[in-house]
């Protein structure tokens, strides 16, 4: 996943056999071996890493804006003019940049529609969008499975109590 992107994960160490993928849901061990929980943990870690990257990029953007403001307040002499000029250029650049809330990429505000569409259909954006959806689906499936298991345990407990 995310091949040739900043978020490249490398090769997956798991077996991805199509036949096994089709047979597993039919198996009586479906959702009992813990693969779903393990996958949820993996996806959650990816999502947490991505959220960290988003926060970091937002902090960079904010720090860059603050540096520009600090530079305007108290610089001295001619050598500082060059620093001001550089900071002004950086401020202009950061004024037109925003962080994608889905994948954490730095985007140019009001960019051409085709570039926005390229980003939205890109590997990282699509991948992290799919991760978020899959996390929610897995959490819901696991929650339902846990509720069913709890009902079965409760029923078995009640039957044991009746026999005593």
pLDDT tens per residue across all 164 residues of the chain: 777 777 777 788 888 888 888 888 888 888 888 888 898 999 999 999 889 888 888 877 776 666 555 555 544 455 566 667 667 766 666 567 788 889 888 888 877 888 888 888 988 899 999 999 999 999 999 999 999 999 999 999 999 898 87
* Residue 129 burial (CB count, 10 A): 13
Rounded to whole angstroms, what are the CA distances from 80 to 48, 63, 68, 75, 101? 40, 19, 13, 6, 36
pTM of the model: 0.62
Q: Phi first, then psi: give them for residue 62, nearest 5 degrees.
A: -65, -45
Is the CB of residue 40 less than 8 Å from the CB of residue 138?
yes
Q: What tokens does 23 get?
A: 């047979």
Residue 61 makes CB contacts below 8 A (sequence gap 6+) with 94, 97, 98, 99, 106
* Residue 87 burial (CB count, 10 A): 19
């Amino acid at each position: 996943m995310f091949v040739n992107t900043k978020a490249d994960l490398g090769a997956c160490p798991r077996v991805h056999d199509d036949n096994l993928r089709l047979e597993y849901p039919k198996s009586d061990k479906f959702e009992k071996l813990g693969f779903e929980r393990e996958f949820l943990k993996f996806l959650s870690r990816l999502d947490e890493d991505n959220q960290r990257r988003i926060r970091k990029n937002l902090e960079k953007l904010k720090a860059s804006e603050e540096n520009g403001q600090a530079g305007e307040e108290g610089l001295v002499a001619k050598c500082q003019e060059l620093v001001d000029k550089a900071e002004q250029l950086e401020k202009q650049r950061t004024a037109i940049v925003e962080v994608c809330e889905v994948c954490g990429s730095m985007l140019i505000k009001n960019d051409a529609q085709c570039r926005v569409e390229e980003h939205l259909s890109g590997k990282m954006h699509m991948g992290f969008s799919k991760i978020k959806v899959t996390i929610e689906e897995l959490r819901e499936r696991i929650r339902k499975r846990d509720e069913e298991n709890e009902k079965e345990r409760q029923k078995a407990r009640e039957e044991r109590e009746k026999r005593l």
